[in-house]
Copies of this chain bind each other. A is one copy, B any other.
Amino acid sequence: MKKVRIALLGLGNVGRGVWKILQFNQDEIRKRSGYDIEVAKVLVRDMNKARGVDIPEELLTTDFNDIIEDSSIKIVVEMMGGIEPAKEYMLEAMKKKKHIVTANKMVLATEGDQLFETADKEGVMFYYEASVAGGIPIISGINESLTANKIEQLYGIVNGTTNYILTKMALDGMEFEEALEEAKEKGYAEADPTSDIEGFDAAYKLAILSSLAFGTKVEFDQVYREGITNITSEDITYAKEFGYVIKLLAIVKEINNKLQLRVHPTFVPATHPLANVYNSFNAIFIKGNAVGDLMLYGRGAGDLPTGSAVVGDIISILRNNVDLESYLPSVKNNLWHKEFIDMKDVECKYYIRATVEDKPGVLGELTTMFGKNNVSLRSVIQRGKEQGEEGVSLVLVTHFTKEENLLNAIDLINIAPYVVKVDNIIRIENF
């Protein structure tokens, strides 16, 4: 059997998963790839750290030169995370004609162009299935299976931490802080959860998926982003009452050749398949003009699911002939030029929860303010006053309206004397 030598950069969660899969699925991998894969080197930061996997010590190195200068290493697998030195290492490896597999969403979302261009120029293969949604084959789905489609919309639950928190809030009645604590205890949230709960992680993934699905360059900072820290159990209860569940969605839609990109908490109809995606699971829904509705559901994180995607990419490289002098890449990322839609021009339905003084005429005055800004209301719920509360809760649901109009109305409402507070505004998607 042919042999191939590879190097792993990083031996964290994903790196250990890859190592384990290469061991316990050795027979499957050999037969399916036609190769015996030998891990020649593993780059680590600290030689003395406990590893949790049974890896021979002589494979470990802290010096990237041990890898880059070894011409017998054909594939470099980057699982370090972060932008530098990951990007620099990948570029150097490409220049040495090594094929690359990466699980790094951040570097792809921010520096992807340079990596794609260098891979093209050097004629090396560059695979990154693991960078978005762990074990779910969404990258190959878009890049290889849906090529006959014009993709119209893509929206999904791409962050397991926030989905876990929202599940606990919806099913177990927890408040946000309590659910976050539990997520930390169970290892679903990091000590500093900012990247997850503020939607950065989802926005990185959306930038990558949008670039591929729409064949255009999408920068991370073109994605509108809102996290889930403002969601309360009250919002979740109202959502249920209206027949919805609240999910943190990453959404991209093409409208008149322009893209709108946004990550925010969203009212999703309770009958939609995404509504039934619980706990830390991820799912991505795609509408193509030929395939119609398609959803991919699975584990978006974890050592083995993410490792499954990484090792799948390694096998793809081996099957595509790892020894070719120059590989002709099949996927181009700049096929079309697309404009982006400003958030103020996005049209949505909105859920608005506000606390107002319990006086006659308040509802009429608020309704007038919406009307003046061309926002028409679909339903209003006013809850009776409970003891000790300052004001009463008013929940409004609008018909489709431009975000600009809504925000203008909200500006007026915010300064109205009988309005205690606009508690929350959440977009509603009916897809």
Contacts from A to B (Cβ < 8 Å): 17, 21, 24-25, 28-29, 31-33, 129, 135-137, 140-141, 144-150, 215, 273, 276-277, 281, 288-299, 302, 304-305, 307-312, 314-316, 319, 330-332, 335-336
Q: Given the complex of chains A and B, what is the CA–CA distance between A312 and B24 in angstroms?
A: 33
The count of identical subunits is 2
Q: Separation in Å of the A306 CB from the closest CB of chain B?
A: 9
Q: Separation in Å of the A56 CB from the closest CB of chain B?
A: 21
Q: Separation in Å of the A269 CB from the closest CB of chain B?
A: 12
What residues on B are CB-neighbors of A299 within 8 Å? Answer: 291-294
Q: Are B330 and A319 in contact (CB under 8 A)?
A: yes
Q: Are B290 and A311 in contact (CB under 8 A)?
A: yes
Q: Given the complex of chains A and B, what is the CA–CA distance between A24 and B215 in angstroms?
A: 17
Q: Are A148 and B312 in contact (CB under 8 A)?
A: yes
Q: Nearest residue in B to A314 (C-beta to C-beta)?
A: B148
Q: Are B150 and A312 in contact (CB under 8 A)?
A: no
Q: Nearest residue in B to A318 (C-beta to C-beta)?
A: B330
Q: Are A291 and B311 in contact (CB under 8 A)?
A: no
What residues on B are CB-neighbors of A319 within 8 Å? Answer: 330
Q: Separation in Å of the A403 CB from the closest CB of chain B?
A: 30
Q: Are A145 and B137 in contact (CB under 8 A)?
A: yes
Q: Are A304 and B330 in contact (CB under 8 A)?
A: no
Q: Are A294 and B290 in contact (CB under 8 A)?
A: no
Known: A276-B276, A291-B304, A291-B309. 20 other contacts (CB 8 A): A17-B290, A24-B289, A25-B290, A28-B147, A28-B150, A31-B335, A135-B290, A137-B145, A137-B146, A145-B309, A145-B312, A146-B308, A146-B312, A148-B307, A273-B273, A273-B276, A290-B308, A290-B311, A292-B298, A294-B298
